[in-house]
A and B are shown apart, each in its own frame.
Chain A
């Protein structure tokens, strides 16, 4: 039996070595196929191949769960010092590391760059008396409980944004009425007037706003979004800016040379029309922020999320 096992083992060995391709990038996607991170990873690598900047191919590992922290832990554990290993990351993971108090964090990786961003928007049912960001703030101040606001998962960017708005309004953060939704349900609930307002990605609201079912009253980015007739929170005098950014980090202990190579590749990619097209079809904002600036940004994000999550009452 042992001998047979060894022959099959040898067979398998031949099979597997025959399969190996010349140094493809090993991309860890900390989410299941089909989601935002999956798209970020696969579309970016596709753009690399299409623009002939990096043509050695890519192998993807999807490891979803717990706001990406399971994929992060796996990445840190398995890819130490691997110059070709990349991890897709983003703001959700920053929050996940804090709330789940994981033993590993983004500090254990080699920060590469921020690539894209999706800004949030606040929307209300078409017949809502709330017409401006100021109306929203006033309603929140008057009776935070009566203003039921839908959003994604509790403790996510939408929830934190509502908490920041409440703080600005001078309403007690503990009193906000955040109702968590998943998928398209939030649009139906908002369009049907089941909730008073909703916070979600600006692109998700676009179609319903165009058909007049809902009204977008503000966006959360630094500038207005093309084609959306809505002011930014900033220009309305509300100093809240929050976005769902995504980017890449490298393996722990990635060599300086490899880090430089990857950053150069991304810098080239950022200039190509292929990438601009990808941004457009995916509805992503360009948020290119490479190298050390990104590392500093990560640190700032970590601090601001820690305090925000404490205020919302998610973090004790």
Chain B
């Protein structure tokens, strides 16, 4: 087969010692920036761009690919151990992962995240190798109305992270939606809810919200309760590795997460977050242990972690086959290609097969390196929790400062950090869930933009929303997801006294 022989040629490039070295650097660097909130792969690659002047293209892209994948491995670590996601794709991981860590099963959570990332990354890379051209065509099939339907479907996933009361869940969701409306409206250029400040014109940065609600809110909460209660976490209790049962409960979520993540990642407006929402919702519905969700269900870590890694492979599909950047990271990679005077796309496969197949081969190797790098690290990461608690949280606050101050050096962002940190604290005290805030912040603006784009193109005809088979199908699934489970729950729980919908 032609693809196979080219792939073997690619391995010959990627396995050169020099390139292996760059892959290793990229993976290590990626893991490190994944851990830091606010410093993502896009920024890191942008900052390393000058390296393109000195290094051969194959080596540079092999390193960049390592950063892209590594950031996703690293992003889950702080989610699980410290309840402070390093990347937006790791928000859902924090939900179950941190509960597991608190129950002394942090190592198992980290392991399922790492192995899931490896499995999904490899599946995604395989799909990239063999299916890329056909998957890439999806980009042209999906129109604004289809994206809107996808957003609606993602919104239905919010229901499962609502916490123990609908009112609180909805309050959190609407708070996120409200934050998402701040800034310039892209379709008309009007400013909305900026209260006369220039700093808010571009909206509230996702990083600031993520860091403040999770890291700062958590630090304030734990501090206020630390005097009276000794550290509850014993990271090494309860076995340090995945049990037989953990494996049995993890492998299906890994596969399902990969299947959800890859195609959505390949869409120009897909990204890595939406697959994690969908995967989490799906695992919660399918799980044989629904009661454990909210208390550390391993499926809730395995699924989303697989989904975001598969999505990362998906992101490369439109970039390499069409030259179409779909995320910030892809846009920076495109700029890197252009620095070498190269334009990604079908022509590049013909003119520079060594470079492209070397890059693809390096993805397999990078995944392996990351697994080898991360599995032994699990033990070390878990021991991180043995550091005195005051140093851990002091360090978290300093790194939160880096994340918030580093990008924009904006005083307004620091003010937002304090305000949102306080809100995060109140949310913890009164048991409001945080994930819906972030879901609202991510999905709200996107759903609004896609809806208004669809309506602009149709000149205000609402029928456009169900005008394509994809949109109709996605909306139907959303409807089924919303309507069926409550009915099923009612039927199932008839002998019991409590309705099964309240979710711990």
Contact = CB atoms under 8 A, between A and B. Distances in A.
Nearest to B203: A65
Contacts of B325: 183-184
Contacts of A194: 143-144, 457
B190 to A, nearest CB: 8
Nearest to A278: B339
20 contacts: A34-B43, A34-B331, A62-B407, A64-B407, A65-B202, A69-B198, A99-B189, A154-B184, A154-B188, A155-B189, A180-B186, A183-B325, A184-B326, A188-B142, A191-B140, A192-B140, A192-B141, A207-B345, A281-B339, A314-B189
B457 A34 contact: no
A195 B343 CA distance: 25
A63 B268 CA distance: 27
Contacts of B159: none
Q: Which of A100, A191, A192 has the most CB of B within 10 A?
A: A192
A180 B445 CA distance: 13
B332 A188 contact: no
B323 A34 contact: no
A154 B408 contact: no
- Which of A33, A155, A213, A280 has the most B CB atoms < 10 Å from its CB? A33
Interface string B447-467: 001000100110100000000
Nearest to A180: B186
Interface string B258-293: 000000000011000000000000000000000000
Nearest to A281: B341
A34 B456 contact: no
A153 B459 contact: no
A53 interface: no
Interface in B391-427: 407-410
A183 B49 contact: no
Interface in B129-143: 139-143
A63 B409 contact: yes
A182 B410 CA distance: 24
Given A154-B188, A179-B187, A192 B142 contact: yes
A179 B456 contact: yes
A65 B408 contact: yes
A117 to B, nearest CB: 17
Given A154-B189, A180-B186, A180-B449, 5 more contacts: A32-B408, A66-B199, A154-B186, A180-B187, A207-B343
Contact of A189 (B43, B46, B144, B198): B144
B268 A66 contact: no
A62 B400 CA distance: 19
Interface in A219-246: none
A183 B53 CA distance: 25
Interface in A176-213: 177, 179-185, 187-189, 191-195, 206-208, 210-211, 213
A179 B456 CA distance: 7
Contacts of B459: 145-146, 177
A273 interface: no
B408 A189 contact: no
A188 B140 contact: yes
A32 B457 CA distance: 31
B451 to A, nearest CB: 12
Contacts of A182: 186
Contacts of B340: 281
Interface string B339-353: 111010111000000
Interface residues of A, number: 54
Interface string B314-350: 0000100011111110111001001111010111000
A194 B468 CA distance: 12
Interface string A101-131: 0100000000000000000000000000000
Which 5 pairs from chain A and chain B are nearest by CB? Answer: A192-B140, A154-B189, A155-B189, A34-B46, A66-B201
Contacts of A280: 341
A211 B340 CA distance: 21
A43 to B, nearest CB: 9
Interface string A125-157: 000000000000000000001101000011100
Interface of A: 32-34, 38-39, 42, 46, 61-67, 69-70, 73, 99-100, 102, 145-146, 148, 153-155, 159, 177, 179-185, 187-189, 191-195, 206-208, 210-211, 213, 280-283, 314
Contacts of A42: 49-50
A146 B318 CA distance: 29
Contacts of A281: 338-341
Contact of B453 (A145, A154, A179): A179
A61 B405 CA distance: 12
Given A33-B47, A191-B140, A100 B189 contact: no
Contacts of B236: none
Contact of A185 (B202, B268, B343, B407): B268
A280 B341 CA distance: 8
A17 to B, nearest CB: 22
Contact of B198 (A70, A187, A191): A70
A245 B53 CA distance: 25
B500 interface: no
Contacts of B330: 184
B25 interface: no
A153 to B, nearest CB: 6
B456 A148 contact: yes
